[in-house]
Amino acid sequence: MSEHVMPAVRATPLAPGSRILVVWPPQILSYFNAGHHLALYQVAGYLRSVLPDAQVTVLDATVLHRTWKDIGNDLFQQRYDAIAVMNDFDGIDGLRRFVSYARALSPDTPIVTFGRLSGVNPLFFRRFDIDAVAENGDFEAAVMAALRVFGGEADTAAGVHLRHADGTWHAPAAPGAVLPAEAWYLPAPAEIPYQHYDEMYRDDANKFCGIPQRRELVVPAARGCPIGCSYCEVHPIFGRKERRLTVDRTVDYIAASFRAAPFEYVAFYAPTFTLDRRWTMELCERLTADGSRFPWKCATTMHHLDEELVRAMGQAGCVRISVGLETLDPHGRGALPRSKHKSRQDLEGLAVWCADAGIELNCFVIVGLPGTSVEGVRETIAAVQAVGGRARPTVYAPWEASRPDLTDDEMAAFNRQLFVPGTHDLAPAQLRDAYELVFGPQLDVTAVFEKVPVRADSASVLLEVP
């Protein structure tokens, strides 16, 4: 195979006024986190800034309940010049069907896919009738690199697999680019269908990330993570070096968003929110000085928390801290980085700090982590509940087993809700007990919304929590 990089199979110039679609296809979600969907709007906003003459349309078809007829109408009538379709751990069926509609109704439009799943198994997507697959680097940079190839402005795209005119695929010639935090686009509230997100969070027994009965503003505070958990997609895609917004830009974005729309709390979207302790303390000081008027939540690790920091976070308006506890079973430590080797005493200490600060403790727990037993998971969850915490269990996804030749159904089993066939040794009764922990009744539902005041102009869905 020639090393010369040829144009992508459907390369067409992206002239001024080109129409570009950034889309999450229709599907039934296995899980909802507004932060994961934020990338749609950040990519679209970035493209508008780089291609000011382009017409960029962004569509979260799943959340907006779009039908396939709606999608077909749009594809046929718009005949987009390029499409960037987002993939995720549970979105394969929707993506494949979207591609079939696009090829039938707008056959000359080049398609690039980007997202978390292509970040951990990019070769899987080479079987789709698409033209480019983003593997790593920031999503905005990967999509823009693919568009330049589609338009004939470049022969290669860093971090992106390209299909060429002869039908062959070529791996990225270089790792994907990462953007400095000052280049990240922060969406205006009107761009995102937050009113639809309210409904997604209504039933807290689903253990989704949002707080029921209150309107959430997502703030993308950081990217990248040096911890390197084997079951996490963050560092393979975004790198081990963390990048953050400045405190000034973070606070300004929150204040402006709360003025523009009836938000009631902030969800900081960052792999390890308190990784940079100095930054976190500075943020807390700023929010506290401003009257702690923005309730907020975050996710981090126990290792990156201490009593003084938790106290400052509570004073600054923090109402929930989520931590990747994963397991208290010492037999599971081999699958965890050393910073996550935590004991029951560590958990109890953190629970006391959170209780004293008025913060809900939410613990992520992995079911099926190598070395652990179902009983060990059950004991971990019980320990969390015993200290007044809320446990959120998910199933272990062994990414090393996600081969390129998997079927769609086999790949979909890596959605962190199902056990991947052939990757566990649980007997049928044990498997049933394990699924009981994930899909059985969830008794530790949240009451943290009671700490988040309802705004007089609120448009959030005020429904009773089951």
pLDDT reading at 37 higher than 50: yes
Distance from C-alpha of 190 to C-alpha of 304, rounded to nearest angstrom: 34
Q: Which residues of 139-175 are buried (b: 16+ CB within 10 A; e: fewer)?
A: bbbbbbbbbbbbbeeeeebbbbbbbbeeeebbebeee
DSSP 207-223: --SSPTTS-EEEEE-EE
Average pLDDT over residues 135-149: 96
Would you state the torsion angle of the CA atoms of residues 370, 376, 382, 383, taken in this order, to the nearest 10 degrees? -80
Residue 98 pLDDT level (bands cut at 50, 70, 90): very high
Ramachandran quadrant class, 29 (left: phi over 0; alpha: psi -120 to 50; beta: rest): beta
pLDDT reading at 4 higher than 80: no
The structural domains of the chain, ordered by start, are 19-170 (3.40.50.280), 187-451 (3.20.20.70)
Contacts of 354 (CB under 8 A, 6+ apart): 310, 314, 321, 360, 361, 389
Q: For residue range 368-411, list pLDDT tens digits in order.
A: 999 999 999 999 999 999 999 999 999 999 998 999 999 999 99
Mean pLDDT of the chain, nearest integer? 93
Average pLDDT over residues 45-55: 94
pLDDT reading at 435 higher than 60: yes
97 within 8 A of 34, measured Cβ to Cβ: no
Quote the pLDDT of residue 14.
73
Residue 13 pLDDT level (bands cut at 50, 70, 90): low
Distance from C-alpha of 194 to C-alpha of 57, rounded to nearest angstrom: 17
Residue 228 DSSP class: -
Quote the pLDDT of residue 69.
98
pLDDT reading at 70 higher than 50: yes
If one compares 4 and 386, the residue with the highest pLDDT of the two is 386
6 within 8 A of 147, measured Cβ to Cβ: no
Average pLDDT over residues 10-29: 84
Average pLDDT over residues 150-178: 94
Distance from C-alpha of 466 to C-alpha of 450, rounded to nearest angstrom: 15
pLDDT reading at 222 higher than 90: yes
Collect contacts of 227-230 with beta carbons under 8 A, ≥24 apart: 227/271, 227/272, 227/301, 227/337, 227/339, 227/340, 228/337, 229/324, 229/336, 229/337, 229/340, 230/335, 230/399, 230/400
Quote the pLDDT of residue 23.
98
CB count within 10 Å of CB 369 equals 24
Distance from C-alpha of 152 to C-alpha of 14, rounded to nearest angstrom: 8
CA 16 to each of CA 12, 53, 95, 149: distance values in angstroms, whole numbers, following the listed order? 13, 5, 28, 16
Quote the pLDDT of residue 462.
40
pLDDT reading at 5 higher than 70: no
| Number of helical H runs and strand E runs in the chain | 14, 15
SS3 state at 381? helix
Q: Which token pair is 305? A: 């928390």
Q: For residue range 282-312, list pLDDT tens digits in order.
A: 999 999 999 999 999 999 999 999 999 999 9
Q: For residue range 331-381, list pLDDT tens digits in order.
A: 999 999 999 999 999 999 999 999 999 999 999 999 999 999 999 999 999
Q: For residue range 258-281, list pLDDT tens digits in order.
A: 999 999 999 999 999 999 999 999
- What percent of the chain lies above the pLDDT cut of 90? 88
Quote the pLDDT of residue 459.
55
Distance from C-alpha of 434 to C-alpha of 305, rounded to nearest angstrom: 30
Residue 429 pLDDT level (bands cut at 50, 70, 90): very high
If one compares 162 and 443, the residue with the highest pLDDT of the two is 162
Residue 2 pLDDT level (bands cut at 50, 70, 90): very low
What is the pTM assigned to this prediction?
0.93
412 within 8 A of 92, measured Cβ to Cβ: yes
| End-to-end CA, the chain | 59
pLDDT reading at 319 higher than 50: yes
Q: Which of 101-105, 343-347, 453-457 has the lowest mean pLDDT?
A: 453-457
Average pLDDT over residues 99-125: 96
Distance from C-alpha of 431 to C-alpha of 11, rounded to nearest angstrom: 49
